[in-house]
């Protein structure tokens, strides 16, 4: 157990590679708290900076009911510690081990998560690590709150750089295609929708969309392979809910939901139908969706001939064999993704 002045630590609830999480009492306020600190006797400056970064991000999300509230940044023998709200919840990943959700319970949780993610995005924050361990659920009320903002960004858009899978920010099983850094596309708030889609998929089917063991193969799956439709694994899942999940899992951000409000509308429509009739009728996912932020599209539409001509000119100048333009396929509209070198020579710079 750690020593933290002013707090009585009662139990350790999680120990990871970088962090340890405890339950305790904030004695001055007589308030139950969660304490998150570093799992190292001599933490590095990078580890301390990351925890300070999380505190700074959380200060922009104070007093939002759908987010685990952060009280204070404290110092201890391990450098720093965050003290967080304890509302009696546990990680969704732990909850799902012992609880099989029915359709109504899934929809109630999903609506809560859409609302929570909407609050995060309204504050211009990209979470970048949505997954069941970072979702806290109360086991009786099913209230859900999102936590862990250690790699979150306050940018509207940022660029991911290619790196080894074990060095990527985020969790590989839940990471969006653009977050891998291998698509020459910037990350924006819609990356969180993909990760939420993986989470919904797992909640509904008990399986992840992709089960590759090799990290590079898993990255390839996120970029290029279409997962089985949830309904094909569990026929009792209504087609409308399956369509919502598959829209969240679209490879291109433009093909996903463009706002948490649009997602929430569809989920609430499903829940209302289920409560009223016991069934959920088919409908087109995203009909009520509108872009939550103004973003410049990163696709080139209707310019295949021009792109091909520019690529041919680039190949002649560089003296290399003409490569095939990178495409994302699999039932999706094809999308060209020119290389940075091609962009420089052609004078076409990708949007930042």
**pLDDT at residue 320 above 70?**
no
Domain boundary among 60, 85, 110: 85
pLDDT band at residue 312 under the 50/70/90 scheme = confident
* Region 88-101 average pLDDT: 96
Which residues pair with residue 9 across a beta bridge? Answer: 24
Task: Please indicate, yes or no, if residue 148 is contained in any of the structural domains.
Answer: yes
**Residue 117: per-residue pLDDT:** 98
In order, the DSSP letters of 202-251 are: HHHHSS-S---SSHHHHHHHHHH-PPPPHHHH-TTS-HHHHHHHHHHT-S
Report d(CA 222, CA 249) in Å as an integer. Answer: 9
What pLDDT is recorded for position 336? 42
pLDDT tops 70 at residue 318: no
What is the three-class DSSP state of 194?
helix
Q: What's the distance, Cα to Cα, between the start and end of the chain in Å?
A: 46
The residue range of the domain holding 338 is: 304-346
| pLDDT exceeds cutoff 90 at 185 | no
For the CA atoms of 140, 143, 148, 153, the dihedral, rounded to the nearest 10 degrees, stands at 170
pLDDT digits (tens, 9 = 90+) for 104-138: 999 999 999 999 999 999 999 999 999 999 999 99
Same domain assignment for residues 240 and 105: yes
pLDDT at 165 over 60: no
Which SS3 state, helix, strand or coil, does residue 139 take?
Answer: coil
109 shares its domain with 142: yes
Q: Does residue 138 fall inside a structural domain? A: yes
CATH number for the domain harbouring residue 71: 3.30.200.20
pLDDT at 249: 99
Same structural domain for residues 208 and 338?
no
Q: Is 196 helix (H, G, I), strand (E, B) or coil?
A: helix
Note the pLDDT of residue 79.
Answer: 83
Token output for 247: 């829209």
Domain ends where: 24, 57, 85?
Answer: 85
The total number of structural domains in the chain stands at 3
CA angle in degrees (0–180, nearest 5) for 156-199-329: 70
Between 266 and 346, where is the model more confident?
266
Per-residue pLDDT, 236? 97
More confident residue, 276 or 313: 276
- 40-43: list long-range contacts, CB under 8 Å, 24+ apart: 40/78, 41/78, 43/78, 43/79
Contact partners, residue 147, CB within 8 Å, separation at least 6? 67, 68, 84, 134, 135, 136
Q: 310 and 261 in one domain?
A: no
pLDDT of res. 41: 84
Q: Which of 178, 155, 160, 203 is nearest to 255 (CA)?
A: 178
Phi (first) and psi of residue 84, to 5 degrees: -125, 160
**Angle subtended at Cα 193 by Cα 200 and Cα 100, rounded to the nearest 5 degrees:** 10
Asked whether residue 58 falls in the same domain as residue 94, the answer is no
The predicted pLDDT at position 168 comes to: 67
Beta strands 19-26 and 7-15 are antiparallel
Is residue 348 over pLDDT 80? no
Residue 2: per-residue pLDDT: 77
**pLDDT above 70 as % of the chain:** 80
Tokens of 85: 């709200």
At residue 334 the predicted structure's pLDDT band, cuts being 50, 70 and 90, is: very low
Query: Quick one: what percent of the chain has pLDDT higher than 90?
Result: 69
Name the residue with tokens 């862990």: 148
Q: How much is the average pLDDT of 9-18? A: 93
Residue 282 domain flag = no
Q: In this structure, are 159 and 176 located in the same domain?
A: yes
Q: pLDDT value at position 221?
A: 96
pLDDT of residue 337: 46
Specify the range with the lowest mean pLDDT, choosing from 22-31, 149-158, 172-181. 149-158
* Alpha helix (H) residue ranges in 60-190: 92-98, 103-122
Average pLDDT over the chain, rounded to whole? 86
| 3 state SS of 117 | helix
Residues 298-309 have pLDDT tens digits of 555 566 777 677
Full-model pTM: 0.81
Residue 342 has a pLDDT of 41
Question: Can you give the pLDDT at residue 181?
Answer: 87
Count of other CB atoms within 10 angstroms of residue 310 = 19
Based on DSSP, count helices (H) and strands (E) in the chain, helices before strands: 10, 10
Question: Is residue 284 in some structural domain?
Answer: no
> Of the residues 85, 108, 127, which one is the last residue of a structural domain?
85
């Amino acid at each position: 157990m750690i020593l933290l002045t002013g707090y009585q630590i009662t139990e350790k609830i999680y120990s990871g590679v970088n962090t340890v999480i405890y339950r305790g009492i904030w004695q001055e306020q007589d308030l139950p708290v969660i304490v998150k600190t570093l799992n190292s006797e001599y933490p590095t400056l990078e580890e301390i900076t990351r925890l300070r970064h999380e505190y700074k991000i959380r200060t922009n999300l104070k007093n939002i009911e759908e987010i685990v509230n952060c009280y204070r940044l404290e110092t201890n023998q391990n450098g720093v510690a965050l003290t967080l709200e304890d509302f009696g919840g546990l990680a969704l990943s732990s909850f799902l081990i012992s609880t099989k959700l029915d359709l109504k319970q899934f929809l109630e949780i999903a609506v809560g998560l859409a609302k929570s993610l909407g609050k995060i995005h309204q504050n211009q924050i990209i979470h970048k690590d949505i997954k069941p361990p970072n979702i806290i659920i109360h086991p009786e009320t099913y209230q859900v709150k999102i936590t862990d903002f250690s790699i979150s960004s306050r940018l509207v858009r940022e660029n991911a750089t290619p790196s080894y899978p074990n060095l990527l920010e985020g969790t590989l099983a839940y990471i969006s295609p653009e977050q891998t850094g291998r698509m020459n596309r910037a990350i924006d708030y819609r990356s969180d929708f993909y990760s939420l889609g993986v989470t919904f998929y797992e909640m509904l089917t008990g399986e992840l969309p992709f089960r590759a063991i090799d990290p590079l193969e898993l990255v390839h799956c996120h970029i290029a392979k279409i997962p089985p439709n949830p309904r094909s694994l569990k026929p009792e899942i209504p087609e409308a809910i399956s369509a919502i999940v598959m829209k969240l899992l679209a490879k291109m951000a433009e093909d996903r939901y463009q706002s948490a409000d649009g997602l929430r509308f569809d989920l609430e429509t499903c829940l209302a139908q289920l409560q009223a009739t016991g069934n959920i009728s088919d409908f087109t996912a995203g009909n009520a969706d509108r872009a939550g932020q103004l973003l410049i599209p990163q696709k080139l539409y209707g310019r295949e001939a021009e792109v091909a001509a520019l690529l041919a000119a680039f190949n002649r100048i560089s003296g290399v064999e003409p490569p095939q333009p990178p495409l994302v396929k699999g039932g999706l509209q094809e999308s060209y993704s020119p290389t940075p070198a091609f962009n420089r020579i052609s004078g076409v710079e990708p949007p930042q």
